[in-house]
């Protein structure tokens, strides 16, 4: 809560310094906090039903909401906006978390099939990123059942998230060899890369405060020339460094790091914690190359999954239940 409060306060400070519009940041922080609180409550009372229902809701949201599915308005010239792949990834992760919490093999199988349905839905709507992310979450969840110590898995997730962010930064700053940069520009699209470089250019004007929240679209010539213009650099870390400076990026990294730390200390079993961590890491990768975090549904879903995976399930009597011991690492933690 302190970190989320710092994110809100810093957005107001930078907005006051440069006449910015902090409403989007404040709404995202509120959505994450509300989702996390709901996840802690629902995860404690219904550790299987709550994430399972969230997974179904995510699939239904993609199927019934035109703004989340592929469409010319949000796909050209940057490909998918990122909301579809992000929601489907969160749905797959929620289904896998519910599967590990389930007590019967049939229910576990049904929930894993639901996670596979998320990947198939991504393929049906033409989201290659969604297919890759959902498949990665499902495979990571299966592998998490064999992890003896969750600390190693959490550390690996942190390195993966840092690697994706570093790669995006390297492309934007032209730090990679020319041949590799050219190869990456094709799937990323040249327009997206130009937006990233514009974001870094704006960050140079004020590295501490940035240009102000919500002002990238006003100051970026590349963003203004897009049809239709959306005013986003399509990268969460680069948008933050442009609009809120290095402090904004540091706060975002601190929030993600705290989530991983909370999952490491979570009373839930290791497979549940690592599955949630893999899902949120995949979401971080999607947000690094797209504008997924611009959608409130994604922010709420991320908070909800984090809350479910860190909740302490309750018994019928209301006392805290002992988490299921599924790995040697869990057994050592309980004995300690």
Q: Which residues contact 65 (CB under 8 A, 6 or more apart)?
A: none
Summary mean pLDDT of the chain: 86
Q: What values do phi and psi take at 314, rounded to 5?
A: -105, 150
What pLDDT, on the 0 to 100 scale, is given for residue 64? 82
Q: Are 287 and 299 in contact (CB under 8 A)?
A: no
pLDDT in tens, 132-155: 999 999 999 999 988 888 999 999
Give the pLDDT score at 269.
93
27-31, 133-137, 179-183, 328-332: range with lowest mean pLDDT: 328-332
The rounded distance, in Å, linking the Cα atoms of 234 and 211 is 17
pLDDT digits (tens, 9 = 90+) for 153-176: 999 999 999 999 999 999 999 888
Residue 225, pLDDT score: 67
CA atoms 203, 292, 263, 3: torsion sign:
positive
pLDDT at 221 over 90: no
How large a percentage of the chain has pLDDT more than 90? Answer: 63
3-state class of 66 per DSSP? coil
- Please, are residues 62 and 121 in contact by the beta-carbon 8 Å criterion? yes
pTM score: 0.89
pLDDT (average), residues 7-14: 95
pLDDT at 223: 76
Contact at 8 Å (CB) between 8 and 26?
yes
Least-confidence region, from 131-135, 186-190, 205-209, 247-251:
186-190
Query: What is the rounded CA–CA span in Å between residue 237 and residue 217?
Result: 16
pLDDT of residue 125: 85
Q: Quote the pLDDT of residue 178.
A: 83
Rounded to 10 deg, the angle between the 105-124 and 83-101 helix axes is: 170
For residue 61 the two structure tokens come to 């949201």
pLDDT at residue 315 in the model: 55
For CA atoms 99, 105, 111, 116, the dihedral sign is positive
Rounded Cα–Cα distance for residues 247 and 199 (Å): 15
Provide the H-helix boundaries in 145-189.
150-172, 178-188
Q: Taking 90 as the threshold, does the pLDDT of residue 126 lie above it?
A: no
Average pLDDT rounded to a whole number, residues 231-244 = 91
d(CA 210, CA 144) in angstroms, rounded, equals 40
Confidence of residue 67 (pLDDT cuts 50, 70, 90): low
For residues 53 and 239, what is the distance between their CA atoms, to the nearest angstrom? 33
Q: What is the mean pLDDT of residues 47-67?
A: 89
Q: What is the pLDDT of residues 74-87, one digit of tens each?
A: 443 333 457 889 99
pLDDT digits (tens, 9 = 90+) for 290-334: 888 888 899 999 999 999 999 987 754 444 444 444 455 555 554
pLDDT at 57 over 70: yes
pLDDT of residue 303: 96
pLDDT score at 227: 56
Domain residue limits, the chain:
2-314+325-335
């Amino acid at each position: 809560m302190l970190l989320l409060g710092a994110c809100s306060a810093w957005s107001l400070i930078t907005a006051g310094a440069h006449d910015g519009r902090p409403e989007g940041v404040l709404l995202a922080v509120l959505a994450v906090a509300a989702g996390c609180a709901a996840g802690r409550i629902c995860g404690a009372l219904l550790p299987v039903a709550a994430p399972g229902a969230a997974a179904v809701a995510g699939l239904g949201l993609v199927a019934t909401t035109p703004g989340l599915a592929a469409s010319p308005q949000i796909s050209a010239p940057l490909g998918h906006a990122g909301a579809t792949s992000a929601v489907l990834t969160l749905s797959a992760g929620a289904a896998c978390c519910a599967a590990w919490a389930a007590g019967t093999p049939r229910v576990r199988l049904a929930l894993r099939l639901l996670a596979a349905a998320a990947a198939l839905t991504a393929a049906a709507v033409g989201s290659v990123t969604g297919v890759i992310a959902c498949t990665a979450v499902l495979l990571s969840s299966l592998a998490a059942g064999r992890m003896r110590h969750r600390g190693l898995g959490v550390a690996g997730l942190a390195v993966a998230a840092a690697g994706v962010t570093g790669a995006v930064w390297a492309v934007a700053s032209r730090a990679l060899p020319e041949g590799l940069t050219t190869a990456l520009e094709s799937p990323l699209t040249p327009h997206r890369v130009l937006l990233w470089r514009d974001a870094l250019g704006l960050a140079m004007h004020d590295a501490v405060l940035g240009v102000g929240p919500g002002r990238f679209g006003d100051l970026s010539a590349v963003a203004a020339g897009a049809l239709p213009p959306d005013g986003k650099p399509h990268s969460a870390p680069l948008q933050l460094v442009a609009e809120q400076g290095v402090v904004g990026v540091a706060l975002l990294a601190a929030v993600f790091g705290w989530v991983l730390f909370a999952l490491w200390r979570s009373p839930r079993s290791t497979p549940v914690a690592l599955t949630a961590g893999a899902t949120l890491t995949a979401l971080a990768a999607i947000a690094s190359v797209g504008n997924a975090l611009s959608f409130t549904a994604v922010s709420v879903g991320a908070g909800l999954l984090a809350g479910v995976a860190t909740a302490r399930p309750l018994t019928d009597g209301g006392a805290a239940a002992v988490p299921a011991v599924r790995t040697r690492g869990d057994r050592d933690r309980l004995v300690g």
